[in-house]
A and B are shown apart, each in its own frame.
Chain A
Amino acid sequence: MGGSNSRRDFLKIAVAGAAGAAILPRAGMAADKSITLLHESSFIPAFDAYMKDTIPAQYEKATGVKVVYETTSVGSLPTRVSTIAETGSGADVTMDILLTPFLFDEKFADLSDIADEVGKKQGGWYDVAKEAAVVNGKWKALPFSNIGQLMNWRTDWFAEIGLKKFPDTWDELYEAGKKLKAKGHPFGFELGHGFGDNHGWLYPLLWSYGGHEVEADGKTVSIDSAETAAAVDFCRKFFQDTMLEDCLGWTDVSNNKAWLSEQISCTNNAESILYIAKRQFEDIGKVTDQAMNPQGPKGRFHLMNSISHSVFNSSPQKEEARAFLKWLMTTDALGDWYNSADSYYQPLLHGYDNAPMWNVEPRNIPFRDALSTAHLPGWPAPASPKLAQSVAKYVVVDMFAKAAGGAKTPDVIKAAAAQLKDIYSV
């Protein structure tokens, strides 16, 4: 981009003339001895409040370093992180969601030594924590939590067909769904282009039948298998015999809305349904329960939706930022921070397996138990920018959705395989 300086200067002058100083960028926000932590604003307001007030006060008392908590709106964190990574200026520490550590790996500092120490102090990391944070052998992020997905089910309606416990296998769930749909209580699992509730059950379904999109080498596309075909066949009849047709066009809000308007008896979602139902729709809250995903022929699986923290290499106070993260992940205050969120965030450290946070809402305990069977979408391959592309193109979701819409199993698998080969072979 040689020669762009003059253009920049021109623009700056034009801006100054046109807009005035009030709306110019606030330069030099991070003064000495202060660390800026970037987060997506939380679904749980108390969690943000705790991070904004309590944690910085404690840290400043302990070390004299200020912590500024910068929140960005839901959905815009990737854009914000891109901006900081591309320009090298902005927050020192950022929250990561799902695949962020793998997209920005070169811009993030190595945190392996801190990860070791935190692991030792806090009872050891869950295996899936490494899957979500280790890039090419180095910890590029410190996992903070998982925002898990579980089965949500209406206990009263399941009781009507004689079920007191949530079905243990996909086939049993299918049978229950057929009966419930006949009684006017269909299921509702997202098969559209949302950001989470589709992957949340479709990848676990694929895995539990033994299918996966790519081999562990991260190069060999392996979607075209008898196992995938079995999962796709199941998905077709599962959709056609238990669900609302509208599920094909759903985004992530849809199943929450359908649940709270009592249209569906079972779905797959994060804790938000139970959380809102308990607080705003008490009658529904009482008959809402959560359970682990059913198992298939090859086991039981869950989707990892990890939240972690990374330090930018470009940060002028990298060491202070690393020290802060180390403190954050080892301090006693961490437990209170988790507590503030009603187990919406599930720690990835075994030291918290029996923490008080789990007593607040027993219906959330399956979230903890699901951690040992959770993986990132591209499993068993390590996550990569290629996986991000597969996710952004909804390859696996649309494979299932097309079958649900009536397309033939070999056709949808062939189409998905061709797309995946284009992505992984480059």
Chain B
Amino acid sequence: MVTGYGKIGGTLRVWVPVGFFLIVTLLPFYWMAIASLKPNSELYNPHISSLIVYHPTLKHYADLLSQTNFLTWTWNTMVVAVISTAISLVLGVMLAYPLARMRFAGSSLMAMTVAAVYLVPQPLLFLPLADIINHLNLGNTLTAVILTYPTMLVPFCAWLLLGYFKTVPKDLEEAARIDGASRLQTMRRIFLPLCTPGFISAGIFAFTLSQNEFLYALIFLTNTSVRTVPVGVIAELIRGDVFYWGQLMAGALLGSIPVAIIYSFFVEHYVSGLTSGSVKG
């Protein structure tokens, strides 16, 4: 779509707006990276530029890895995010498939119910949920968050998959039904394999939300050995009124690496899954 412009004009047309968004997006990251490499004497010096490192050091990274449970938190975060994403996708499919493909009494009411659940904001539930978790004696276990994250993820996954499922043509399923396959078999063997992009976009979004979640993790996980990255880093690197800024920034960057890698693999599918799911749905 750059036809009709000169080469320089075309380049400008691309890079002026793209560059603007890149700067806005990345400036804080640049700052984080710089801060994580600065010795304290530079970090706390307001008289030198905050955007340049004069004597870079890896001390904050070393301290983060040796003095805190950062690796444990990363592991916990991955466990929690993977399992709650998986649970949410499975439950999401079980909701979305009938709603997208079947005709039955009450289906539109159910679709609305799912949408309504999705609207219930998280902070509304945290007090009663804390009580439930207490009574189940699940406080301080990863199970507490693995169980509660899907409350916000299932309606989302169901909604997104519902849209995606509607876009898949029905011919193959009908053929399988004529061949005598049961509905369950049709769904498992014929239908679901067609929906990979939908799963990837729902899954990646659910994964992001669960690895970033803060409120439930803050309330349910108080022991350092079961914390996730956001809560662990905040709780251990903020000691009373002292922030370990360099380590916090190192933690922010290291903590986002696993997800960034996952994104770079899946971003193409993420986009295509979202597209057909939401535009036509």
**A–B interface present (Cβ within 8 A):** yes
Residues of A at the B interface (CB closer than 8 Å) are 1, 4, 8, 11-12, 14-15, 18-19, 23-27, 41, 43, 70-77, 79-80, 82-83, 86-87, 89, 194, 196-197, 252-253, 255-257, 260-263, 269-270, 272, 276, 280-281
Q: A77–B222 Cα gap in the complex (Å)?
A: 8
Which of B15-23, B95-103, B128-136, B172-180 lies at the interface with chain A? B128-136
Instruction: Give the number of A-B contacts (CB < 8 Å).
Output: 119
Q: Which residues of B contact A76 (CB under 8 A)?
A: 218, 222, 235
Q: How far is the CB of A2 from chain B (nearest CB, A)?
A: 13
Q: Check B241 against A253 for contact (C-beta < 8 Å).
A: yes
Checking B45, B222, B224, B243 against A261 with a beta-carbon cut-off of 8 angstroms, the contacting residue is: B45
Known contacts A76-B235, A272-B241; is A19 also within 8 Å of B44 by CB? no
B105 CB to nearest A CB, Å: 26
Is B242's CB under 8 angstroms from A253's CB? yes
Q: Is the CB of B134 within 8 A of A83?
A: yes
Task: Tell me if A83 and B139 are in contact (CB < 8 A).
Answer: yes
Chain B residues contacting A23 (CB-CB under 8 Å) are 79, 141-143, 146
Q: In the assembly, what is the distance between CA of A89 and CA of B67, in Å?
A: 30
Docked pose: A26 CA to B140 CA in angstroms:
9
Which of B45, B46, B146 is within 8 Å of A19, CB to CB?
A: B146
Q: Which chain B residues (40-68) contact chain A, with CB distance < 8 Å?
A: 40-41, 44-46
Total contacting residues, chain B, CB less than 8 A: 39
What 10 A-B pairs are tightest by C-beta distance, nearest first? A73-B235, A252-B241, A76-B222, A261-B44, A23-B142, A72-B222, A87-B134, A80-B222, A83-B139, A43-B240
Q: How far is the CA of A71 from the CA of B130 in the complex (A)?
A: 20
The 8 A CB mask of B98-140 against A (1 = contact, 0 = none) is 0000000000000000000000000000000011001111111
Q: Other than the known A25-B141, A43-B242, A272-B240, what 10 A-B pairs have Cβ atoms closer than 8 Å? A: A11-B147, A73-B224, A74-B238, A76-B218, A252-B240, A253-B242, A257-B243, A260-B40, A269-B241, A272-B239
Q: Is the CB of B241 within 8 A of A194?
A: yes
Q: In the complex, what distance in Å separates the CA atom of A18 from the CA atom of B40?
A: 45
User: Can you name 9 A-B pairs with beta carbons within 8 Å?
Assistant: A15-B147, A25-B140, A25-B141, A41-B224, A73-B235, A77-B222, A79-B218, A253-B241, A276-B242
Is A270 touching B223 in the complex (CB atoms < 8 A)? no
